[in-house]
Structure 1
Amino acid sequence: MNGGQKQTVAAVIVHWGPALPSIELAGWLARCPSINEVIVVANNQMSCPDGIEPSIRWLVPSRNLGFARAFDTAVCEYPGHDVYLLLNNDVQLSRTTIDACLALLSAENVGVVAPALYNNLGLQSGAGTVSRFVMEPRVRGEGTGARDTVWVTGAVMFIRAACYKEIRFDQRFFLGGEDVDFCLRLRSAGWRVLVTFADPARHRGGSTIPSNGFQYYAIRNRLWLVRRHGGGYRYVAAVCRVAGFLLARTLVADLLKRRGLIRTKLVFHGLIDGVRPMPTLNEPRPDEPRPSLWLDWR
């Protein structure tokens, strides 16, 4: 990478929610010797806050771009780096973790590296795999050292620029599933995906997807994922599982807990959109985030 010269690294934070987590993380990254540039993409259209370090690039798009489009925008606005570090704004990692992941990424044919990610409940994301019949993304148990894996989470992902130029994120997913799809496609193209347990990162909590909105994207994007990578019988099995089990289970839970039917409605719309044709262009739908049609998206 770079013919023996020191690689340049840009960190890209996809911002949503209060400003403070992004300000703190961006400031810490700006002081990290291994990071050459820090870019924040404010998906909630928040203006650059006062007091932020002058070297930090704060991009304000005209709309919520979704996770993949936000990252792609940062790469297009600030090209020329060898590595891009994609981050949620609520992820904590050490300089040791950054250096270890960069060292792994320098190996031949390695396109993506991620540290194992832990939260208050334990391991959140490690060596990702997919189930045999319906391609449901799953996380294997604890491990040691670094290993090849099927996918890693986009919450903290080191991406070789040459790999991303060849195989970009599918921006249609908008929120959730784009990391799995990306890893599956780059592995098919001959790139390697690694996860390391030696130097893990920590997730303080998710703020990218409102909790109810996740119901919609978990269904729609999972069906899209199976459609793209699983073949006909797996896709039919996944649709039947959602329609015959998950939708009914959500309805029963909504009724028993007397919490209204918003979750059932979102699962239903996720199912309908999941079986409809995918958009032809690699960009978010104009009406994204789709759940905002049925709930308050905050």
Structure 2
Amino acid sequence: MNMLHETAKAPKVAVVILNWNGLKYLQTYLPSVTASTYPNLEIVLGDNGSTDGSVEFVRANFPMVKTVLNDQNYGFTGGYNKVLAQVQADYFILLNSDVEVVPNWIEPVIKLMESDELIAAAAPKILSWQQKNKFEHAGAAGGFIDTFGYPFCRGRIFFEIEEDHGQYDQTIEVLWASGAALFIKQKYWGLSGGFDERFFAHMEEIDLCWRLKNMGLKVMYCAESTVYHFGGGTLDVENPYKTYLNFRNNLLLLQKNLWLRKSVFIIPMRFLLDFVTLARFLSEGKRKDAAAISKAHRNFIRQLFTNSGQRQKVRSERHADYNLQSTAGFYKGSVVWAFFVRKVRRFSELKGW
């Protein structure tokens, strides 16, 4: 009776795992998700046209998991947009297939989000599955962005990843929540329009969260919940296509979400900084990565005026109770200067907030 009452009053939560030929990850990590203790929970596998038998595996071994099938691979952005259009819940949790969770990982985040109408999205602490005492690259302890548009996290600056000693065990407002384990209220997913499918994959969650911030809403990091991310399950770190997406999408992110008067200064500066990275890749013999940056710039320039037409459409839909954009999550300094010149290696060492 108590369980029935608890289920009835708890908001409905749908954990949605987008899959593309991820059988080995589902075999390893899905059992932990199905062991979640949240009372009013639906688990959904959204499949992007897999051919490795992963859908058949889930249907045979986890009949409690609902399957929603796309007819082809629409990427992270298009795949989730199509799947979530067929899911009904108060909260969506977008969870990577290579994430291990603990039984009560959902409850603290939902409690936090229920406490404030203006909280649109949130993420738990994300640690490495391989080294559980270290943060994981994709999200760590909450996402930030610097004045030139470089994303970083509490616990991770560029490729330098900190050990977790409880130094970031404070729940705070951030700029972005990692797409590896992204909690979002269904109504704000709908109001924001979901993911921008031009991103395909990489930085799409930063764009979504920044749009939510521009609408006057909040994005939070919940320190009371922890998950463990394997990482790199879609594209290897050294993959030139990932390099292309990161550089192209970062420029698109800035063009969409910065105010026009800031973008006309910041975007040319980013081109200059990107050329420095391109030259470094060439000096290290990484010609394919250098070519990927050049391709990203050409694509961005070709689409410049088309993208301008898509500039922040939701600014006029600000929440009625919160008319000013929060500055939480924005670093006024340059994380590039701090990391490569001042040799800062920890988030806590950053100055100039």
What's the TM-score bracket when you normalise by the shorter of the two chains? Answer: 0.7 to 0.9
Alignment of 1:60-79 (within 5 A): 60-79=69-88
Tell me which residue corresponds to 1:126: 141
Give, in angstroms, the shift of residue 27 of structure 1.
4.1
Which string of whole-angstrom CA distances, capped at 9 and with x for unpartnered residues, describes residues 109-141 of structure 1? 111111121113822322211111x21111124
Distance 2:197 2:31 in 1: 28
User: 262, 275, 282: which one pairs with 2:301?
Assistant: 275
**1:164 and 2:189 are equivalent in the alignment:** yes
Distance 1:63 1:44 in 2: 4
Q: Secondary structure at the match of 2:70?
A: coil
**1:249 and 2:280 are equivalent in the alignment:** yes
Distance 1:44 1:118 in 2: 29
Residue identity in the other structure for 2:245: Y
Q: Judging changes above 3 Å, is the alpha-carbon distance between structure 1 residues 199 and 176 closer, same or farther for their aligned structure 2 residues?
A: same
Distance 2:301 2:271 in 1: 8
Which string of whole-angstrom CA distances, capped at 9 and with x for unpartnered residues, describes residues 19-51 of structure 1? 032245444433434252222222352352233
Pair member with larger Rg: 2
Contact 1:92–1:201, Cα closer than 8 Å, also in 2:
yes
Structure 2 alignment gaps of length 5 or more: 1-7, 156-166, 311-353
Give, in angstroms, the shift of residue 162 of structure 1.
1.1
**1:266 and 2:281 are equivalent in the alignment:** no
Alignment of 1:139-178 (within 5 A): 139-141=153-155, 142-167=167-192, 168-178=194-204
**1:240 and 2:272 are equivalent in the alignment:** yes
**1:49 and 2:56 are equivalent in the alignment:** yes
Which string of whole-angstrom CA distances, capped at 9 and with x for unpartnered residues, describes residues 37-85 of structure 1? 2222223523522333223223332222111222222211123x10111
Which string of whole-angstrom CA distances, capped at 9 and with x for unpartnered residues, describes residues 136-159 of structure 1? 111124412311111111110111
Alignment of 1:100-115 (within 5 A): 100-108=108-116, 109-115=118-124
**1:82 and 2:110 are equivalent in the alignment:** no
Tell me which residue corresponds to 2:43: 38
Residue identity in the other structure for 2:36: C
Residue identity in the other structure for 2:79: A
**1:91 and 2:93 are equivalent in the alignment:** no
Contact 2:32–2:102, Cα closer than 8 Å, also in 1:
no
Which string of whole-angstrom CA distances, capped at 9 and with x for unpartnered residues, describes residues 235-258 of structure 1? 11111211x211111122126xxx
Distance 1:96 1:28 in 2: 11
Contact 2:142–2:178, Cα closer than 8 Å, also in 1:
no
Contact 2:32–2:101, Cα closer than 8 Å, also in 1:
no
Tell me which residue corresponds to 1:285: none
Contact 1:92–1:203, Cα closer than 8 Å, also in 2:
yes
Alignment of 1:193-208 (within 5 A): 193-208=219-234
Give, in angstroms, the shift of residue 227 of structure 1.
1.3
Superposed CA RMSD in Å reads 2.3
Contact 2:127–2:229, Cα closer than 8 Å, also in 1:
yes
Q: Secondary structure at the match of 1:219?
A: helix
Q: Secondary structure at the match of 2:115?
A: coil
**Range with greater deviation from structure 2 (11-20 or 229-238):** 11-20
Tell me which residue corresponds to 1:5: 9
Q: Secondary structure at the match of 1:49?
A: helix
Tell me which residue corresponds to 1:22: 26
Report how many residues are paired: 271
Q: TM-score, with normalisation over the residues of structure 2? A: 0.71
**1:58 and 2:62 are equivalent in the alignment:** no
Q: Judging changes above 3 Å, is the alpha-carbon distance between structure 1 residues 49 and 24 closer, same or farther for their aligned structure 2 residues?
A: farther
Contact 2:36–2:102, Cα closer than 8 Å, also in 1:
no
Contact 2:32–2:100, Cα closer than 8 Å, also in 1:
no
Q: Secondary structure at the match of 1:179?
A: helix
Contact 1:26–1:40, Cα closer than 8 Å, also in 2:
no
Percent of paired sites with the same residue: 21
Distance 1:275 1:253 in 2: 27
Give, in angstroms, the shift of residue 169 of structure 1.
1.7
Contact 2:37–2:104, Cα closer than 8 Å, also in 1:
no
Q: Secondary structure at the match of 1:95?
A: coil
